[in-house]
Copies of this chain bind each other. A is one copy, B any other.
Amino acid sequence: MQKKKIAIVGAGFAGISACKVLCSSKEVEVDLIDRRNYHLFQPLLYQVAMAGLNPSDIAIPIRKLFSKNRNVNIILAEVNSVNVKNCEIQFDEKWNKYDYLILACGAKHFYFGNDHWEQFAPGLKNIEQATEIRRRVLTAFELAEKAMSKDEQKKLLTFAVIGGGPTGVELAGAISEMASKTLVKDYKNADLSEVRVLLIEAGDRILSAFPEKLSKQAENDLKSMGVEVKKNCRASNLDQNGFSINNEWIECKTILWAAGVRPSSLSKSIDSAKDSQERIIVEKDLSLAGHKNVFVLGDMACFQVNKHQSLPGIAPVAIQQGTFLGNQILAEIKGYSRKEFNYWDKGIMATIGRSKAVVSSNNMHISGLMAWLIWVFIHIVYLMRFKNKFFVFLQWLWSYFSFGQGARLIIHKSWQFYDGKKINYK
């Protein structure tokens, strides 16, 4: 029997999880295609942005994950187009056939139609963006240190995070802690007690996926750390000097985007039903309507639990979908019929700062130190699973508590938007 050719596009949680199941079978050959050479542990990406972790602490070369599996081809390429009728995908200027296609390309940021805002307010989805955010935040402190006027200093020490979801909450909390705990010792002219961190949320509460009680708790925690939480506010008119909310202009040098997300642009080449966030609506077996051999997973997919509810774009969903699908394809090759995907909801969590987090699991609502310990434990376990670097994590925990922030380097070449002038620290 000829081996089935399975193409997996995207080596995020969903793609890797599917590949980990499929690689064990001799009846399939897998092409795992990603435009990067590493798998990223995205839940800790904000720590890279905040100089607490190195990129390589949370990323692993994809080849290393599957170096022992001769039936997995790792391909560094960008898939440009999908033709589900001909069972072909295009990359490296060639069309390549598949028997099964797994699309797991994840999501990117969405600026509500204002794509030019991206330069003023980078999002946090990949390592380049994380290091860009790190550079902007650290450079703002450096420029504040030598600012010529109080107004200038104030503008440089104002940081705004747009979007009150888990990423926005983590970023706002981390900037506030970095200023008050780590950096405060290092600057002499800049008065870091003047640092202002704003968290802007369009809805009437932050962490809206969590129970109301925990949203409130998180808001109080942020406030106790000095973060100004602005609800029912929409940011607009972003530029290099600030933005407006509700007709008020906020002078601000550093804006971070943690608001809308949209699926990867490859989803545009799929002609199928989509939800309001443009995610592809999938069948109960994760397949594309009308194409039994094409599957969409993770942040790209809208899996409807019932008429009013779909699964959120979080790592546990992606991991479970990947594992389910890998097993389903192997079962189908052996002649078994398909099953429906069932998500086992273990809960959601968000961290706010050192020893502050919120965890919601079934009917358990936990906040404070206990929630934070759960968050740490789960992240250790998952990171270990793929990194096998226990003491990198220990070391991070150490510097996390000692407020060391070791990776505090401004590395890239230029910080582009300082009064329109390009500053080039070559």
The answer to whether residues A142 and B37 also contact, given A64-B186, A73-B188, A395-B392 and a CB cut-off of 8 A, is yes
Nearest to A64 among chain B residues (CB) is B186
Contact with B along A93-132 (1 / 0, CB 8 A): 0000000000000000000000000000000000110010
Q: Do residues A37 and B409 form an inter-chain contact, with CB atoms below 8 A?
A: yes
Q: Which of B59, B187, B425 contacts A36 (CB 8 A)?
A: B425
Q: Which residues of B contact A322 (CB under 8 A)?
A: none
Q: Does A323 contact B (CB under 8 A)?
A: no
Which of A61, A187, A425 gathers most chain B CB within 10 Å?
A61
The answer to whether residues A426 and B35 also contact, given A128-B412, A188-B73, A408-B61 and a CB cut-off of 8 A, is yes
Q: Which residues of B contact A74 (CB under 8 A)?
A: 145, 186
Q: A411 to B76: give the CA distance in the assembly, Å.
A: 13
Q: Which of B36, B38, B92, B409 contacts A55 (CB 8 A)?
A: B409
The answer to whether residues A389 and B409 also contact, given A425-B76, A426-B35 and a CB cut-off of 8 A, is no
Q: Does A407 contact B (CB under 8 A)?
A: yes
The answer to whether residues A146 and B92 also contact, given A63-B187, A186-B64 and a CB cut-off of 8 A, is yes
Q: Do residues B407 and A56 form an inter-chain contact, with CB atoms below 8 A?
A: yes
Q: Which residues of B contact A35 (CB under 8 A)?
A: 425-426
Q: Which of B68, B70, B76 contacts A142 (CB 8 A)?
A: B76
Q: Which of B63, B139, B186, B426 contacts A186 (CB 8 A)?
A: B63
Q: Which residues of B contact A409 (CB under 8 A)?
A: 36-38, 55-56, 59, 61, 127
Q: Does A359 contact B (CB under 8 A)?
A: no
Q: Does A413 contact B (CB under 8 A)?
A: yes
Q: Does A416 contact B (CB under 8 A)?
A: no
From residue A28, how far is it (CB to closest CB) to chain B in Å?
16
Nearest to A35 among chain B residues (CB) is B425
From residue A426, how far is it (CB to closest CB) to chain B in Å?
7
Q: Does A406 contact B (CB under 8 A)?
A: yes
From residue A5, how far is it (CB to closest CB) to chain B in Å?
15
Interface residues on A, range: 35 or more
Q: A139 to B64: give the CA distance in the assembly, Å.
A: 15
From residue A104, how far is it (CB to closest CB) to chain B in Å?
17
Q: Which residues of B contact A425 (CB under 8 A)?
A: 35-36, 76, 78
Q: Which residues of B contact A36 (CB under 8 A)?
A: 409-410, 425
From residue A389, how far is it (CB to closest CB) to chain B in Å?
7
Q: Does A391 contact B (CB under 8 A)?
A: yes
Within 8 A of B (CB), among A371-426: 389, 391-392, 395, 406-413, 425-426
Q: Do residues A408 and B64 form an inter-chain contact, with CB atoms below 8 A?
A: yes
From residue A187, how far is it (CB to closest CB) to chain B in Å?
7
Contact with B along A37-68 (1 / 0, CB 8 A): 11000000000000000111101010110011
Nearest 7 pairs of A and B residues by beta carbon: A63-B186, A56-B407, A54-B54, A76-B142, A61-B408, A67-B185, A35-B425
16 CB < 8 A contacts A-B = A35-B426, A36-B425, A37-B138, A37-B409, A38-B408, A54-B54, A61-B186, A67-B186, A68-B185, A75-B146, A76-B145, A76-B425, A78-B426, A127-B409, A128-B412, A392-B395
